[in-house]
C-alpha cells in the first residue's frame, strides 16, 4: 500500500487548532472550488523560501474559489520552533493569508502521507486529490523557479481540464516524525518517484 495519498482519493478529514485560536476541519472549506492542503513548518529553508509565494498564490486565486490551509506536523521535542506557540508567531510575522494549523499527533500527516515540507495536495470540489507534489522547481530561491506545477494544476482545474502533470516529487525537508531519526522516511515513501 502506498504511503502517500493517491490521485483520485478523498481528502482525509482533520480537526486541528489554528494560529487564530479556532479549530479547522474540511467543513470549514466546504464552499471553495479547490482546496490546497500543504504540509509546512517554521524552519525548513524550502518552506521559508516558499512562504511569500504561498501568500501570493492565495491572493491571486482566492477570488477564483481556491483556498489553502497549511499544516505543521513536525515533532516538537527535537524541533521546538514548530510548536503551536511558535507557529502563531510565524503566521503573524509573515502575514499569512491562509489558516496555519498544528497537527501535534501527526495523525493528519500520516493520513495524507506527507513526505516533506512543503508538500502540496490539491483537491477538487468533491475533495478528490487532483495534484500532489511541489509548488515549483526552486522553492529555496524565489524568482529563480522555471516551472510552476502548483499554479499549472490550479489553472487546469479551474479551466475544467485534467491536470497535465498531476504528480511531482515534493522538494523540501523530511517531515520530522516523533521517535524517528531526523531524516527517516517510511520504506514505502518512495511511491512518488
d(CA 72, CA 70): 7
* Mean pLDDT lowest among 67-71, 90-94, 189-193: 189-193
Residue 116 covered by a domain: yes
Q: pLDDT tens across 100-115, in order?
A: 999 999 999 999 999 9
Q: pLDDT tens across 95-152, in order?
A: 999 999 999 999 999 999 999 999 999 999 999 999 999 999 999 999 999 999 999 9
Residue 25 covered by a domain: no
Mean residue pLDDT of the chain comes to: 94
Is residue 181's pLDDT more than 90? no
Q: Which helix (H) or strand (E) holds 187?
A: none
Residue 6 covered by a domain: no
d(CA 25, CA 168): 26
118: CATH: 3.40.30.10
pLDDT at 170: 94
Residue 19 covered by a domain: no
Residue 162 covered by a domain: yes
Contacts for 31 with CB less than 8 Å, ≥ 6 apart: none
pLDDT at 193: 42
Residue 182 covered by a domain: yes
d(CA 133, CA 156): 16
The end-to-end CA distance of the chain, in Å, is 15
Residue 21 covered by a domain: no
How many beta carbons lie within 10 A of that of residue 161, not counting itself? Answer: 10
SS3 51: helix
Residue 15 covered by a domain: no
Is residue 190's pLDDT more than 60? no
pLDDT at 109: 97
Please give the full DSSP string across 63-89, using - where no structure is assigned.
GGTEEEEEEE---SSS-GGGSHHHHHH
Q: How many domains does the chain have?
A: 1
Q: Which three cell numbers stand for residue 95?
A: 502575514
**Category of 8 on φ-ψ map: left (φ > 0), alpha (ψ -120 to 50) or beta:** left
pTM value is: 0.95
Q: Which domain holds residue 135?
A: 32-192
Amino acid at each position: 500500500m502506498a504511503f502517500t495519498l493517491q490521485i483520485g482519493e478523498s481528502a482525509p478529514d482533520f480537526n486541528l487548532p489554528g494560529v487564530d485560536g479556532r479549530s479547522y476541519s474540511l467543513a470549514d472549506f466546504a464552499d471553495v472550488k479547490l482546496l490546497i492542503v500543504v504540509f509546512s513548518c517554521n524552519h525548513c529553508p524550502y518552506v521559508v523560501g516558499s512562504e511569500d509565494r504561498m501568500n501570493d498564490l492565495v491572493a491571486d486565486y482566492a477570488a477564483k474559489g481556491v483556498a489553502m490551509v497549511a499544516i505543521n506536523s513536525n515533532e516538537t521535542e527535537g524541533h521546538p520552533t514548530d510548536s503551536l506557540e511558535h507557529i502563531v508567531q510565524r503566521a503573524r510575522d509573515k502575514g499569512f493569508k491562509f489558516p496555519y494549523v498544528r497537527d501535534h499527533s501527526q495523525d493528519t500527516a500520516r493520513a495524507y502521507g506527507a513526505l516533506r515540507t512543503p508538500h502540496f495536495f490539491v483537491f477538487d470540489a468533491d475533495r478528490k486529490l487532483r495534484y500532489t507534489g511541489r509548488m515549483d522547481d526552486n522553492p529555496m530561491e524565489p524568482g529563480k523557479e522555471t516551472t510552476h506545477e502548483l499554479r499549472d494544476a490550479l489553472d487546469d482545474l479551474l479551466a475544467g481540464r485534467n491536470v497535465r502533470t498531476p504528480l511531482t516529487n515534493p522538494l523540501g525537508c523530511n517531515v520530522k516524525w516523533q521517535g524517528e531519526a531526523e531524516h527517516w522516511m517510511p520504506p514505502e515513501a518512495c511511491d512518488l518517484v
